[in-house]
Amino acid sequence: MKIEWESRNMVTVDAPLELVAMCCQAAEGVTLPCAVHVLLTDDEEIHRINREMRDVDRATDVLSFPSVNYRPGTTARSSEKRLRREWDPELGACMLGDIIISYPHAVMQAEEYGHSVRRELCYLLAHALFHLMGYDHMEEDEKKEMRKMEEKALGMAGVTRDDGALAPSDGELCALARLAMQKSYSPYSKYAVGAALLTADGRVYTGCNIENASFGLTNCAERTAVFKAVSEGVQEFAAIAIASNGAPPYPCGACRQVLNEFAPGIRILVTWGENQMEETTLPQLLPHSFGPKDLP
């Protein structure tokens, strides 16, 4: 999921919003590349937009304007043809629509509900994204379904009500790896790879392979994900899913050694083709390994 950001109040947001967007798409089961435009603004502007677009004379927390016209009773997962109609060649993705979030309103609601501004912004983005994917909450059964999807996506992203994490299933972890693969920079090999690294506490870090004209400087998707996690202070991992657009993407020797540094017993899921998947463990791929335990 690509997010086209626009901020009118120049607020820097310390929240995993891109991961939340990817988790929403994975929870919905949409595999096409998708994009969304997000405007972060203030109460005054969102009040004006409400008045002009919805005849509502007040500020609200979030607005969503979908690009896709779904059939009644359907959502994005069963609307591939309609999604493809919104293909933007410049973005290389299907544009789902526009989201407008009032940052001051998010701060106020975070205080009211007793959780972090980070969590509130993640929730508002997930809520709006599911609107863009065809969900609504006018009827009680619709509301329950939408809330279930919101909490599922936020849990996958490690942003629950108490900022804890709800670990994704193996299938969801593989779906996140496939979405991460869409960001691959692989102009030389044409072999795109994505990885989704599951931490011991249930969070997910994603990565893609990043090639370089000096081929030896290429970085694999697995190491990209591991380095992102370690750079944020996380060093305990439970599983990693690796997706490719070609042959089964078993980790190379360098990636096996890097994984062994932090998680010598990690589970490894590889997925390719039409959702083909195999599971193994690092000890099976790297027998007689050498790691921190072997140093004096």
Q: Which residues are catalytic?
A: 222
28's tokens: 């919905």
Q: What's the rounded Cα separation, in Å, for the pair 16 and 153?
A: 12
- The three-state DSSP-derived secondary structure of 10-44 is CCCCCCCHHHHHHHHHHHHCCCCCEEEEEEEECHH
Q: Are 262 and 237 in contact (CB under 8 A)?
A: yes
Sign of the torsion angle spanned by Cα atoms 50, 56, 60, 65: negative
CA R_g for the chain: 20
Q: Are 97 and 68 in contact (CB under 8 A)?
A: yes
Cα dist from 254 to 49, 218, 257, whole Å = 52, 12, 5
Q: What's the rounded Cα separation, in Å, for the pair 47 and 148?
A: 29
Task: Give the alpha-carbon dihedral of 86, 275, 185, 34, to 10 degrees.
Answer: 20
Q: What's the rounded Cα separation, in Å, for the pair 196 and 83?
A: 25
Between vectors from CA 198 to CA 143 and to CA 151, what angle results, nearest 5°?
Answer: 10
